[in-house]
Every structure is written in structure tokens, then in C-alpha cells.
Structure 1
Amino acid sequence: MSIDLTLDRIRKLLSHLPPYTRPTVHIAGTNGKGSVSALVSSILHMSSPPMKVGRFNSPHLVSVHDSIAINGQPVSPETYLVARVFVEEMDRKHSVKASSFEWLTSTALLIFEQEQVDMVVLEVGMGGRLDATNVVPDECIVVSALTAVDLDHQAFLGDTPVAIAKEKAAIARPGKPFVFGPQKYPEVEGAVRTAVGLVGGQLIYATPAVSREWNEDIDGPMMSLPRSSFSGALPTPVDITLPCFPQPLHALLPLHGEHQLSNLGVALHIISALISHPSSSRSGETLQLRQRLTPATVSRGIRSVSWPGRLSWHDISVQTSNNVAKPLTILADGAHNPASSATLAAYISSLISASTERCSLPREVSVTYILALSDSPPKTPLQTLEPLLSPVIRELSSTTINVNVAVLRFTAPDGMPWIKAVSPSALRNTVSLLAPNAKIWSISDDEKPDQEQLLAALQWAESVSGSGEGDERLVVLAGSLYLVADFYRLIRGGRLGGTALVRSRRWLTPLGPAY
């Protein structure tokens, strides 16, 4: 794989496009930056009156249009095509020879400028210092932020957490706030503090939100629990104290998993910096941020956030061999590295533990994984899958866990020919090593990935996990956002014979055309 990291090409390309002037929040990190960008965007859009908010994320989920959103909705294919054609024309006319990601980034910035959005939330693609998004002028950046740093993309960013953190912290800007999220590796703090200090930025430490009991006076009537312990969850009531508000903020967080408390903390400290940091005064006065971003609107923005493919629950139906439509609940998550895999494993463990507490008798639960991984050395399948398939989950409490695993490839994402999937045989060998008693389904290495294979894997998952009474089975689709994207394409194409639901926005939202 060859990626030529430099800002020279995109700087040259942008010099031939309309100047970019939008106030921008810039977010880097190994894990969590997408969730933070979704939270910040939702909060800004739910201000009163609503702000027009652009958001750029990569990689895309289902189609390239997903990468560029305005007010939470992907831009139309027509809007994208017009901007993209112009960018590519400028690239050819001036012999820039920009990369596909530089084209995409330039297209996003051009669309945001043409649409005159009030604020842009910009997610770093990879790293930070030499990422194409880091070309945005200093005067446009109002807040920078860094979520959790972990080992990923070592071939480009360095082989230690400190080296990777230095690359990511290089998005800091002079005189601007830099929100620093909770970290797994303590040594990262010193590296980030030095990097931010060298450019004259101001480091702001984000504290996580704190979960609490449901309070009907604050949160309204509590919804009834799902029929099954493995059919989703209610939003988490949370509190957090912020410099911008005199009283603690109360909210309901629909994103699942303990890690989202830290992500919410980062998002809310970004909002706090927008409201109260001196460097944000010009944008704040122009946009009237203090008047528009109140505790009530911020809470509404948190409650309204949606981030598909990250601990997302879906009710589908699959056709059996007898042409009978059987219901199946899927937990879909794009866990793609050891850290995100461990986060998913912790969430699964919490689900099983909670359901076990409600059951006084020993029982058996079937956990069926549908997995595909990107081939991204030096990260190995063993490192990524070990947290999911480790004995810790299978020996939890008085519950016996029966593990089943389907392994396959994802279809190649458009415009990213360097993305390759790990071979099914390599995945099968890894699963056999980590879970020798697991039932395994796989395709052969010479089969070209397509939607029929994922359909077959879903049918196998329905059959191997048994009829299952309520909370006795859990089906998890994970390992790569590209596999999650294939799943969403099946939903959007009506191939699953039923309505899929995302339990996030308002807890139960039909999966719309964007996904």
C-alpha cells in the first residue's frame, strides 16, 4: 500500500477553488472522533434557532455522499457530483495530481463554502499533521480536539502511542482551544501538552459525562424495557459539569457503551469552548452562540444524535431455506482494531451480565459473530479478534456462552483500491485458535465477495443460534465499517425481507435512505 502523505498537493488544488472561510471544529483521534463529530453536529443543529451545520467524516459508510452531510443529511448526489467534477477539472487543468482523499476533502470544503454553512465539523481522516483536512486555515479553526489515541496505522503514524499522539496533536492552532479527551495511555498526555504548547494553543482537559439513574422529573416518563435483553437498550441518563453553564447539564445519551461517556465529554467541552473561550468571541458574536446554545438546546442535541454502525441495534428478517421469514436482531459495530474490539466486547459483557442478574437460574446464551477485517499490517487478526473471542466473555458469571462465528470478506469500498480484506481462511484459523469450540461458517478464499454471501451468513446466524427464547441469543456483525456498509446496503435494497430499525435517534428510528 502506498499513500504519499503531504499537504502540498491539496494546498495547490485549494488555491484554484473559492477561498474556504467557514468556522470549523477539527477533530482527530484513533477511536471516537466520529461519535464526537456526530454529537457536536447534532448539538449545533439543535440550537435555537437552528444552525446550518456541515460535517465531514471518512471513510464513508454506504456511499461516498455519506461523507459530506449538512444538518445530519448526506448531500444529494447532484450537489456532490457538480462540486466533485469542478474539483477534478481544476486538478487536471493545473496538473495537481491530487489523491482521491484530497479530491474528497476539497469537494467537502467547496460544498460547505457554497452552502454557506454556519459551522463545519471536520473529522481527520488519518493522523493529523499531514492529513488533507489539516489544510484548513488557522483563522477558520475555532476549536481542535483529540479523542482516544491507540495503536493503528502504525506504518504511517509511528509505532508507539506517543508517536501517534504527536501526529494527531499537530492539528492544534495558535491561540485556539485544544480539547483533550481521556486516554488509555498516560504517556500520551505529555506529548500532546508539548505539541499544543509549541504552537501556542490552549489545552483543555475534557472530563467524561457521568451516568445516573433515570429521573422522571428531568428525563420524562421512562420507556418500557425492550422485550429482550439483547434487543437494544434505553438511552443513558447523564450529568456533566461544564465551564459555560452555571449548573450541571442533564441529558439522555442514545449512543451505547461506556466509552460514549468520554466521547460525550469531549463533545461538550468543544461546545463549552465555542461558547466561552476568548478566541471564539468573533464567531460567537456573529452566530450568537451563547444565546442559541443553552442547556435545553444542548440536551436536545444530545438526545437527537444518530451515529449508525456504532453499537447500533437492528431488527431484520431473513429468509430460511424453507422460504420462511424469521426475525433476527443484529448488533452492528464497526470495531476494526484491538481498542474498538475491546470496547465492543465490554458492551457485550455488560449486556450478558445485566441479563444474567435478572435470571436466577444458570443458562446458556448463544453469541454469533459475523466478521470481516481489513488487512492493515502490522495490526493482525489475532490482535483485533482476541478481545471479542477471549475466555473472559465465555466464562461470565453463571451463564454459559456458546460462540458461533461466520467469517467472510466485505465488498471493496468505492474509490479506495488500497483497502483489502483479510482472507476468510486467515480469519478462520484465528477464530479456531481463539475459540476452539466455536462453530464456524466461512466462504472460500477464491470466492469474490458479494451481497449473497452476507445474506447466507445472516441465514446461518439465524439457524445456528437456534430459535432462542427472547434474550437467549445475540448476533453481532463487526470487524469493519465496510462490512457494516454491506449490511446497510442489504437493508436499503430491501434484501432482508423486513424493516430495519436503528435504536438511536428517538430510540427507534427507521433506517432512512441515507443509510
Structure 2
Amino acid sequence: MSTLPVREYLNFFINNEKYLNQLKPSAFTLDNIKKLLKLLGDPQDRLNIIHVAGSKGKGSTCAFTAQILYEAGYKVGLYTSPHLEDVTERIRILGETNSKGIFVDAISEKKFQKTLEAIKPAIEKIRQVTYFEVLTALAVFYFAQEKIDFAVLETGLGGRLDATNVGLSKVCAITPIGLEHTAILGNTLAKIAVEKTVIIKDARQKVVVAPQVSEVQKVIEERCRKFNIQPVLVESLDKHFKISLLGQHQRVNAATAIEIIKCLRQLNFTVSDKAIQEGLQKTYWPGRFEIVQKEPTIILDSAHTPESARVLADTMQEMFPDKKVLLILGIADDKDKQAIGRALNKIADKVVVTRFDHPRASYFKSEELKDIFLNKECVQTDNVREALDLVTQEEIVLVTGSIFLIGEVRRLCINTRV
């Protein structure tokens, strides 16, 4: 099976990531992933799982946690989604040198192909398995085959019916929860929290909870009481800790990772303070307030909710006070365009709204732009290349709104100077 057929084979499966705006809650179930993993010998049962759900910062929290464990000498698998440039980025074993892509420790094309071939007979016994379920099964099977010490898993969507929610985690963490995917998860914070907190499901688990609004906190505490679990509440990160990722919100994610590690210590896993500090300083997580170019300065951030947009705006004001900002904004059509745009409006001097190459890319009506970006110079382009052509040397360029946009811009910025 060559590289092209591998991608073509994956593309035969239903990819919910492309059509979330068209889906209903009934589209999600754990039945198929459970059947698939059972045919593969339930590899998830051979893993020490750390499971992270939430709306903001769950990928960064996973990255911090995995890096700390790697620095402590463990063999660590990391499964995250979506990817920036290539699907193999989602499946990593830290410290490996397999790939020439964004992450050198991503699964190699050869191993990706070999593992897919190994699980293919099981896949084809099940009808209508999804793209994400195939990738999740592949990751879990690969991690088990490689005999890793820990598997750090980021949920894809929600928690209750997410394909990652098939094993029993040693530690699970809930990062800040906000309004997102409301047509699928529910139209209130409480309903969304109910969906995400179902990764808490056994009295043996340790539970770490990042700062939440009171409505969400009540749901989490109620879920924990059901299993007689006393959750660990994340507090602010001590000032002496230095971290590699920029922004105050990343200090919350780092603090969450530290509490996960402390829970593992209680389970008799050894992680030194030195490993924690080195892990926080060495974590590499692109597309999160990432400065990919200077002259002009171009910053990429995958903020895609109103809450994360507000945090991003605060970070910009903190890092680049009194600087003119050109905002390049692209948002998926299932997101709250109005709220995200208004949150970013306060730091934008000029606005370029664009469409990235993805089925969920949204288009703004001219009336929407006038309403959101009142009295701002604002244009809309049909594609990302046209948006980047409007960049000058005079402003700080902030690109945000969707991880799909970030991936596309990153490829253009890294491969060809803007």
C-alpha cells in the first residue's frame, strides 16, 4: 500500500470533522469503536491512560503532560486532534525520530501504513466506522504494540460519546469548558459540561479540574460525587515555573498538567521536580500563539471559541502593547462568529476575513462585518493566499479563528516567506 492509497483508504470513512454543522447528537455512538477494539484484543486495557477533555487548552495540557512524563524517563504516547498539516501528527511517541513533519516523533509513514494494514481486517468487519474511530483505534493499537508506559489522549468532541472514551484512565482532567458545538453537545454550559465530564466514570480515577465558571463546576462536582471522587482543583502556577508556551492561559494549562503529574505520584509513579520543570520548558505545541515569522511579525493562534478569543486578545495586549495589529480571521461555520469577532475587535486596527480550504469554512455577510468590526478597515478574501498578500511590514499580523486556518497559513509561511 503506497502513501496515496493510505490517504485514499482513510478518506473512504465518514469524517465528521468536515461536517459538524450538519450533524445531530444521534450521529455519535461508542458502539462501533468498542466493537473494533474488541476485535483488536482491547488494546486500550493494556495502557496507562491520561484522558483530557474540555473546550480550551486540552491539547496544550496534553502536550505539557506528555513532555513532563518523557523527561521523567517514561515512554509516552500522545494522541491529539485535529492536525495542522498531516494526519500522522495526531499519533506520537515522544523521543522517536520518525518524521520529517512538524513533529519529528510523529508516527512514521511506514509504521502508519503497517499499523493500518494490521487493523484493516477488523475495520472491514464493521459497517460505517468513522475516520476518527479508525484513527483512534490505530493510535491505541500502535501504542499497545509499542509497549508505551503512558498514553495521553485528548478527546475529539465532547466526552461521553467520543471515541477516546473507551478505556479507563488513571487520571482524567477537565480543562475550561465553554459554549461550543451546541447543536451536538447542548445549548447551555451545564449541558456541555454533562457531556464532557462523562470521562469521569470510575471510583479508581483521579480527577483534575481547571478553573471553571460556577455553572460548570457544579456539574463536575456532582459527577465526582457519583463515584465518591474528591477532584483536585487547579490553582495558579507558581511564578518560579518557566514555560515554553506564551500567554497567561498557558500557565493555567501548565498548572493543570502539574496536578495530573501529582496525581500520578499518588499512584506510585515517579516524576521528579526537575522533570516537571524541564517538561514545561521543552514542550513544543505549534499554532498556539506561535510566532512563525518576523519582519513582519506573524502570530498564529488556534483560538476558536469566544472565551479563547478573549484570552488571545488579552495576551496580544500584554505582549504587544501599543502595536498596530492586522487581524486575519477565518472561522468554521459552526462557531459563534459574532462573539469571536467582537472579542478580537478591540485589538484589531485592520481586519482581513478569509476562507480556509475546508468544508466548514465560514463566509461573512457584508452586514455582519460592518456590525462586528464597526468603524474598522475590513476586507474579505476568497482564500488564504489572497489574505496573506495584504500583509505589510507596518503591523503585527495575528492569524486566528480556526486550527484549519492555522495549518494552512503555517504551511505557506514556513515554506514561502510572506
Query: Identity over the aligned pairs, expressed in percent?
Result: 31
Find the partner of 1:336 among 299, 304, 308: 304
Q: 2: CA distance between counterparts of 1:491 and 1:386?
A: 27
Shift of 1:85: 3.4
Shift of 1:117: 1.0
Q: Which segments of 5 or more consecutive residues in structure 1 lack a partner in the other structure?
A: 211-237, 239-249, 317-326, 357-364, 394-401, 413-418, 445-452, 498-515
Deviation digits for residues 424-450 of structure 1 (CA, Å, limit 9, x no counterpart)? x43x54332222332233224xxxxxx
User: Contact between 2:292 and 2:413, CA under 8 Å: does it hold in 1?
Assistant: no
Is 1:30 the equivalent of 2:62?
no
Q: Which residue of 2 aligns with 1:348?
A: 316
- State TM-score, norm by structure 2: 0.87
Shift of 1:89: 2.9
Deviation digits for residues 128-176 of structure 1 (CA, Å, limit 9, x no counterpart)? 111110111x3xx210110101100111111111111111111113221
Q: Which residue of 2 aligns with 1:369?
A: 327
Q: Which residue of 1 aligns with 2:7?
A: none
Q: Which residue of 2 aligns with 1:205?
A: 233
Q: 2: CA distance between counterparts of 1:95 and 1:435?
A: 49
SS at match of 2:165: helix
Shift of 1:407: 1.6
Q: 2: CA distance between counterparts of 1:454 and 1:109?
A: 35
Structure 1 segment 91-490 matched on structure 2, within 5 A: 91-92=123-124, 94-136=125-167, 138=168, 141-172=169-200, 173-183=202-212, 185-210=213-238, 238=239, 250-276=240-266, 280-281=267-268, 284=269, 289=270, 293-315=271-293, 327-353=295-321, 356=322, 365-376=323-334, 379-390=335-346, 393=347, 403-412=349-358, 419-423=359-363, 425-426=364-365, 428-444=366-382, 453-462=383-392, 467-468=393-394, 473-490=395-412
Deviation digits for residues 354-411 of structure 1 (CA, Å, limit 9, x no counterpart)? xx5xxxxxxxx421011111010xx431121110014xx4xxxxxxxx7111121111
Q: 2: CA distance between counterparts of 1:188 and 1:148?
A: 9
User: Contact between 1:310 and 1:333, CA under 8 Å: does it hold in 2?
Assistant: yes
SS at match of 1:135: coil
Q: 2: CA distance between counterparts of 1:422 and 1:268?
A: 37
- State TM-score, norm by structure 1: 0.71
Question: Which amino acid in the other structure matches residue 90 of structure 1?
Answer: A
SS at match of 2:88: helix
SS at match of 2:404: helix
Change (3 A) 1:310 1:297: same
User: Contact between 1:55 and 1:68, CA under 8 Å: does it hold in 2?
Assistant: yes
Q: 1: CA distance between counterparts of 2:135 and 2:127?
A: 14
Is 1:2 the equivalent of 2:23?
yes
How many residue pairs get aligned? The number is 383
Q: Which segments of 5 or more consecutive residues in structure 2 lack a partner in the other structure?
A: 1-21, 96-104
Q: 1: CA distance between counterparts of 2:140 and 2:127?
A: 17
Shift of 1:192: 0.6
Deviation digits for residues 462-484 of structure 1 (CA, Å, limit 9, x no counterpart)? 1xxxx43xxxx311011110010
Shift of 1:17: 0.8
User: Contact between 2:342 and 2:373, CA under 8 Å: does it hold in 1?
Assistant: no
Q: Which residue of 2 aligns with 1:510?
A: none
Shift of 1:341: 0.7
Q: CA RMSD in A?
A: 1.8
Shift of 1:116: 1.0
Deviation digits for residues 63-115 of structure 1 (CA, Å, limit 9, x no counterpart)? 111111110621112211222233343121x2342111111110110111111
The structure where strand makes up a greater share of residues is 1
Find the partner of 1:81 among 103, 108, 113: 113
Q: 1: CA distance between counterparts of 2:121 and 2:375?
A: 56
User: Contact between 2:179 and 2:192, CA under 8 Å: does it hold in 1?
Assistant: yes
Question: Which amino acid in the other structure matches residue 405 of structure 2?
Answer: L
Question: Which amino acid in the other structure matches residue 130 of structure 1?
Answer: L
